[in-house]
Amino acid sequence: QAQLVQSGAEVKMPGASVKVSCKASGYTFTHYGISWVRQAPGQGLEWMGWISVYNTYTNNAHKYQGRVTMTADISTTTVYMELTSLRSDDTAYYYCARDAIVGTTGFSWFDPWGQGTLVTVSS
Amino acid sequence: EIVMTQSPATLSVSPGDRATLSCRASQSVSSNLAWYQQKPGQAPRLLIYGASTLATGIPARFSGSGSGTEFTLTISSLQSADFAVYYCQQYNNRPLTFGGGTKVEIK
């Protein structure tokens, strides 16, 4: 069945960048978009943006424009999310989550989700 | 941006009782609403989409209703595995947005 496996935890200094990977398996990679959702410790869920794996079109939440880059590597069925200029309030779990249905333009619920990657920003 | 408001923030329920969780959208999202369950240390798990369609493998004690701006998730008879945080999510407009969550705890 469809599965998303994310890279391991990261610790970064303020001002640095982080790149989180999300490897997909069990389905046709190019048929489904991927969103990134973050969750600060003890807080709720926040959508960051979406990438069409088919044509690499992206749509990011206004809050992250200019700081987040989402890419996809079809050869390795992996999606990446890079966040730059890290601040302490970027400390959070970062999840990748697949569109639940084929061929949307990012208007979808999510299933499945990756297991999450904890990014800690601290000096 | 569509703001999703969940209530109550915390719901204390005894095992076997019925739980009713609410989600309100700041403007109509039609039936483009999903519900997720999240347990500590785990990723969210899809429960319901299209406001009322049960996801694959989800027990029938979960049900969803509503459209427009008012939505409800009902758990008919709470089991021990159901104590968790529940989130609603609208996918009608960008940015996609989530509610703040309802924690269902043991009474």
Amino acid at A41: P
Pick from A45, A94, A108 the residue to mutate for testing the B interface (most B CBs within 10 Å). Answer: A45
Q: Which chain B positions have a beta carbon within 8 Å of A115's beta carbon?
A: 43
Chain A: residue whose CA lies nearest to B6: A44
Q: Which of B23, B36, B56, B94 to mutate to test the interface with A (most CBs of A within 10 A)?
A: B94
Token readout for A14 is: 């303020």
Contacts of B101 in chain A (CB under 8 A): 44-45
- Whether A17 has a pLDDT exceeding 90, the answer reads yes
> Hey, how many other C-beta atoms are within 10 angstroms of the C-beta on B39?
13
Answer yes or no: is pLDDT of A89 > 90.
Answer: yes
State pLDDT tens for residues A39-60.
999 999 999 999 999 898 999 9
Q: Ramachandran region of residue B81, left (φ > 0), alpha (ψ -120 to 50) or beta?
A: alpha
pLDDT band at residue A102 under the 50/70/90 scheme: confident
Which value, in Å, is the radius of gyration of the alpha carbons in chain A? 14
Q: DSSP 3-state assignment of B40? A: coil
> B43: which chain A residues are within 8 Å (Cβ-Cβ)?
95, 113-116
pLDDT at A103 over 90: no
B16 burial level (CB within 10 Å; 0-12, 13-18, 19+): exposed
Locus of tokens 């990748």: A96
Give the residue on B whose Cα is nearest the Cα of A108. B91
pLDDT digits (tens), chain B, 107 positions:
999 999 999 999 999 999 999 999 999 999 999 999 999 999 999 999 999 999 999 999 999 999 999 999 999 999 999 999 999 999 999 999 999 999 999 98
Q: Do A100 and B49 touch (CB under 8 A)?
A: yes
Contact between B98 and A47 using a beta-carbon 8 Å cutoff = yes
Q: What is the pLDDT of residue A83?
A: 98
In this structure, the number of other CB atoms found within 10 A of the CB of residue B77 comes to 12
